[in-house]
Amino acid sequence: MSWSGHWHGYGPWIGPSAVYGKEGGRRPPHPNGLPSVLDSEDKRQQAVLDRYREAAAEFQTGNVPPTMTGYWLMKKNQVSADRTWADLGVTLAWLMKQYEANTPFERSDGLETYSGLDTKLEYATDVLPRGVDVSWVYYTPSKSLISFSVVCCPNRFHPQIRCPLQSS
């Protein structure tokens, strides 16, 4: 598998799992919008249309991670040249820094809750050069959920999404 590009870092997002679990605002708007056949006089259909518009706005302006990692590239307000890398070592260092600043929850019985940092870094080292995105999501000691991601650009799974740092 051959891939050539750069990586964007997103996050960390820290918050309650209930917010993360609300998928409406984590999905991009449909490219064609909602069907025009909706009857704006029907209250149920109007409620659906209103919720769709609300979710579309949440996706564009919110910082909650999208349902698919590659969709981060659509959130132009979340991209930063400071978190864009062509060097794998720098990319891995950013992942490690986020992890060390926000360590995972540890079980009181001493059993492992999540894969360790070494395992996570080994996986990222293997897949990132092949164009596979990496997301680390886990609970922190405060029971908040944390999510941070490295997204390959161009994205192997969403090739139609342009680099968010390219001018349109």
Give 35 or 3, the one with higher predicted confidence. 3
Mean pLDDT across 4-11: 97
Whole-structure pTM value: 0.87
Report pLDDT digits (tens) over 92-148: 999 999 999 999 999 999 888 899 999 999 999 999 999 999 999 999 999 999 999
Bridge partners (DSSP) listed for residue 13:
147
Amino acid at 77: N
CB 145 within 8 A of CB 139: yes
Report the number of secondary-structure helices (H) and strands (E) in the chain.
4, 4
Give the tokens for residue 91.
Answer: 């990319």
